A and B are shown apart, each in its own frame.
Chain A
Amino acid sequence: MINASIMTFNILNILPILVLAGFGMIVLVTDVLSSRKWVNRNILAYISLIGIIIAAVLTRSSTGTTLFSFNESFVTDNYSLFFNFIFLLCAGLTILISHNYIKREDINYGEYYALILFSTIGMMLMASGADLLNIYIGLEVMSISIYILTGFKRSKLISNEASLKYFLLGAFATGFLLYGISLTYGTTGAINLKQIASFIAEKGGMSDPLMVIGMGLLIVGLGFKVASVPFHAWVPDVYEGAPTPVTAFMSVGPKAAGFAAFLRIFLTAFGSSHLEWQKIIYILAILTMTLGNVSALSQTNIKRMLAYSSIAHAGYLLIALVSANDMGVSATLFYVLAYIFMNIGAFAIIIVLSRKGDECIQINDYAGLGFKHPLLAIAMTLFMLSMAGVPPMAGFVGKFYIFSAAIKSGYIGLAIIAVINSVISVYYYLRITVIMYMKEPAREFVPLTISPLMVAAIVISVVGTLQLGIFPSKVMEIAQRSILMMR
């Protein structure tokens, strides 16, 4: 007779996730019923948005607490709540920019919104997971949803190919992550991060070679999800092939979630033996930044350029991980938030300018935009400047915090390399601005149809980029409060 006891159970902790799951299912069911007269498929976006807003309100209401539940496998602390906010914001903005796009491209299925909600659930699980099982399941829920979203234009070959590449490589990387978890479990006897940490602290570091291998495999698996360099090969192809709003979504969401898990695992579980992994991440950070920025220089396709730029940004975030101090964590939180605004904003403008059957994703397609649509050009310029790290934009402040964290931990060389990289990146970001204002239009700009939702997304992104750049202190304060409970 096996006796099982009911574990500590606090449903309030997972309420935002449950709400999102519920709304995801409502969207699915509403969609299959939408052949009836009384349901309109256009309301699905609004249903999803309502779900996201409710989840955000619930998340907000539980700030300031640190609660472990479900047998200490799920944690609600300021760190996870901050990340959950980021994911909800990201999902919300993505839905705003998708609404018109998926109607135009004839992929207006309810599954689109449901999958965005489901992958947001996965991300939230990753950020709130206090054991490796929860983090693994979150990662898979997120990834599987995004594999499908990538191939959502199923009649388009480019979308199919991107989806297949992402899927095969993603599943491959999952294998490594899982093997890493298995070896960690085998050597420490626990999958709970706190127990792993106390085991390592007792042993006085990584004595077992199996554990070192396990940790290395964890770096491979997570490194793939955040697109760090030796594992980045999928990024440009997948970003180019996926539907543009999905590209926007997956360039920020999974990356943020990957870093949430990365930081939590490596600072909580492997925190006491940070000297071992810092060397590896140090090299990865340099490679990631440099290769991302240098490859971005020669791109002619704006989606590929942003793909390489997102690799470079992952490199900057790895610096924060290397510094492994409180400032690094808060800088990561700040940077990810800033990155959401500027990146989704940039993709929003790409979507506005594209038409059915003509994606207009060559950089030269943007020639003359400054004269025809000055407002869009100004917004695009803002996002590009912010990504390049020009003050007073959000990107500058984020980079400033990250580099300071590195210097604080004594990684001055790394900070210098990062600054040089930043300077390189200015070239390709500014090139778009120059083309927009200095070149004669190469094509006709048809009258644009911008939906109110799209306007809302762009306005939110612009305001966010400026707000974080000019008045960063308030958000930074929240970010700093979100790290206290980490250890």
Chain B
Amino acid sequence: MINYLPILILFIIAVGFAVTNIGLSAILGPRRPTREKLTPYECGIEPVGTARERFSVKFYLIAMLFVVFDIEVIFLYPWAVVFKSLKLFGFIEMLTFIGIMLVCYFYIWKRGGLEWD
């Protein structure tokens, strides 16, 4: 347990530094709000309309495709851990899996799932 003491100290210093600075600037800093200062920060561009708007449904489509393809990775991790002892068999098995994912990709691509417009 004692080995982790430096990490704990580092952690406390890091948190303490952040909290102290933010706290000090909140207490000491001058506050003169103007209309421009209160507008939401959008990378320097003037905000147009409210942020609570409807999103295009295309975002949902991208999110769905991302989730499905993203989750395939969790099968790659355990495979990678035991890759050496599974040898060629595991490799072929994983190639089959990736092959199936490629078919899915091809299907989505041809269906127009990846086109924005």
Contacts and interface: CB of A to CB of B under 8 A. Distances in A.
Asked if the two chains touch in their complex, CB atoms less than 8 Å apart, one says: yes
Interface of A: 1-6, 25, 28-29, 32-33
Contact of B111 (A3, A4, A32): A32
A2 B103 contact: no
Question: Mostly helix, strand, loop or mixed at chain B's interface?
Answer: helix
A28 B103 contact: yes
A32 B110 contact: yes
Nearest to B89: A6
Nearest to B81: A2
B103 A6 contact: no
Contacts of A33: 110
B94 to A, nearest CB: 13
A25 B105 CA distance: 12
A3 B100 contact: no
A226 B111 CA distance: 35
A25 B86 contact: no
B82 interface: yes
Contacts of A1: 84-85
B11 interface: no
Interface string B90-102: 1000000000100
11 contacts: A2-B85, A3-B82, A3-B85, A4-B82, A4-B86, A5-B85, A6-B89, A25-B103, A29-B103, A32-B106, A33-B110
Nearest to B99: A25
A467 to B, nearest CB: 39
B107 interface: yes
A5 B85 CA distance: 7
Most central of B82, B89, B103, B107 by chain A CB within 10 Å = B107
Most central of A5, A25, A33 by chain B CB within 10 Å = A25
A182 B87 CA distance: 32
B81 A25 contact: no
A6 B84 CA distance: 12
A33 B90 CA distance: 32
Q: What 7 pairs across the A-B complex have the smallest Cβ distances?
A: A32-B110, A4-B82, A4-B85, A3-B85, A28-B107, A25-B103, A32-B111
B106 A29 contact: yes
A25 B81 CA distance: 30
A68 B81 CA distance: 27
A32 B112 CA distance: 9
A393 B108 CA distance: 47
A29 to B, nearest CB: 6
A25 B100 contact: yes
Contacts of B82: 2-4
A1 B86 CA distance: 12
A273 to B, nearest CB: 34
Interface in B60-105: 81-82, 84-86, 89-90, 100, 103
B52 to A, nearest CB: 24
B107 A32 contact: yes
Most central of A3, A5, A32, A33 by chain B CB within 10 Å = A32
Nearest to B86: A4
Contacts of A4: 82, 85-86
A265 to B, nearest CB: 26
Contacts of A2: 81-82, 85
Contacts of A32: 106-107, 110-111
A373 B75 CA distance: 56
A147 to B, nearest CB: 14
